[in-house]
Structure 1
Amino acid sequence: MTDTDPVLRALAHPLRLRMLSLLWPGPMSAAELARELDVSHALASQHLRRLDAAGLVELAEERTRRGGRERRYRTVRGTPLSDRRDGSPMLAETMAHALRERAGRRQEASEGVTVDAELWVDPRIWEDARRRLTELAVELHDAAQRPHAPGTIPLGVSVMAFPLQDPERPDPPSAG
């Protein structure tokens, strides 16, 4: 496991994925993350250090608070998940864990979208769908606000769409 990409290793824990989501709309300290995630300050700090070492979060500000220094971090902008090309089962398992946890917190009788499919489509259709899924993810991330901001609702969003290997055709057709 020592050969595993450090970014992938940092992403391979459900709590760290949640932290990245919480840090997206604005900076938070380890203490704020601990309260939001209902974990100890020490555990939140440990996971935050791991994300920082992998370059997934950055120090946004330092301020004096109660006689000490509070460091607040934010998610580094970019798409480390959608750009992965290694088909990592480790990341898929982490996302599955996050999905199970979020599904357990689904608001009763709420509307949502659930899709699970294995489809065969023209490569041009796939490229267009992939582009639109990416745009939708960016739109939701750009609209994200701090946890519990007035007038907001919490959402669970997990999307993983990718071409599958076809054992009968080793070279996939291009989207040309």
Structure 2
Amino acid sequence: MDETAPTAVARLRATAHPVRLRILSLLTAEAMSAAEVARALDLTHANASYHLRQLHDVGELVVESEEKIRGGVAKRYRYDATRDVRSHGPGVDARVAYARANGLEVERRLRQAAPGASSSSDLETWVDVETWHRALDLLHEASHLLHAAAKPAGTPDTVHVSATTHAFTMSGGLEGDAVRWTPARETGR
């Protein structure tokens, strides 16, 4: 994805909002209508509809089905986590906006954390390109694994989890094509 393209900017702006991040998480496991999203997240129907439209308009959500309800049509939206998830958009300022929205969402989730297994890590260091690409492959694989296995909220015998990753190259070392990465699952390595 071209990180300077207007569509990349629009996608980032649409997702750089705590409510929309919650909607994306919710719609990973199942398709829902605006009314269902409103009930699940304690929003007004109008507010849920607005956020769903914003996410759909930039391609973050797909309409999985439509059903006739009281003379109208209710769309059921789903988040397609199989699309390219490597880039969140253009420029440092745009990425910072996304990180801030994401940080607020992580803070909300941490306040609901249950005792049990968890993992937290923060690191700024220098590594060889091969190690960096392997780490990105593992993070990418974990993200896809969790998205693919997502179940509707409250499904019996499931655990409610939160997983957030931010991994990026810093300035001062190799940059650009020298460290360009394509996930192993896309290259077959």
The one-letter code of the counterpart of 1:20 is L
Structure 2 gap ranges (5+):
1-5, 181-189
Q: 1:73 aligns with which of 77, 95, 98?
A: 77
Cα distance in 2, alignment partners of residues 56 and 118 from structure 1: 30
The one-letter code of the counterpart of 1:165 is S
RMSD: 2.2
- Per the TM alignment, residue 103 of structure 1 is displaced from its structure 2 partner at its CA by 0.7
What is residue 90 of structure 1 aligned with on the other side? Answer: 97
- Per the TM alignment, residue 51 of structure 1 is displaced from its structure 2 partner at its CA by 0.6
Bigger helix share: 2
Structure 1 gap ranges (5+):
none
- Per the TM alignment, residue 149 of structure 1 is displaced from its structure 2 partner at its CA by 1.3
Q: Secondary structure at the match of 1:163?
A: coil
Distance 1:5 1:68, change over 3 A: same
Cα distance in 2, alignment partners of residues 171 and 68 from structure 1: 52
Q: Secondary structure at the match of 1:47?
A: helix
Q: TM-score, normalised by structure 2?
A: 0.81
In the alignment of these two chains, the number of paired residues is 171
Q: TM-score, normalised by structure 1?
A: 0.87
Cα distance in 2, alignment partners of residues 15 and 43 from structure 1: 10
Cα distance in 2, alignment partners of residues 12 and 62 from structure 1: 27
C-alpha offsets along residues 130-153 of structure 1, whole Å, 9 cap, x if unaligned? 011101110111100111112112
Question: 2:64 touches 2:76 (CA, 8 Å); kept in 1?
Answer: yes
Aligned-pair identity (%): 33
Cα distance in 2, alignment partners of residues 92 and 69 from structure 1: 35
Q: 2:108 aligns with which of 101, 115, 127?
A: 101
What is residue 10 of structure 1 aligned with on the other side? Answer: 14
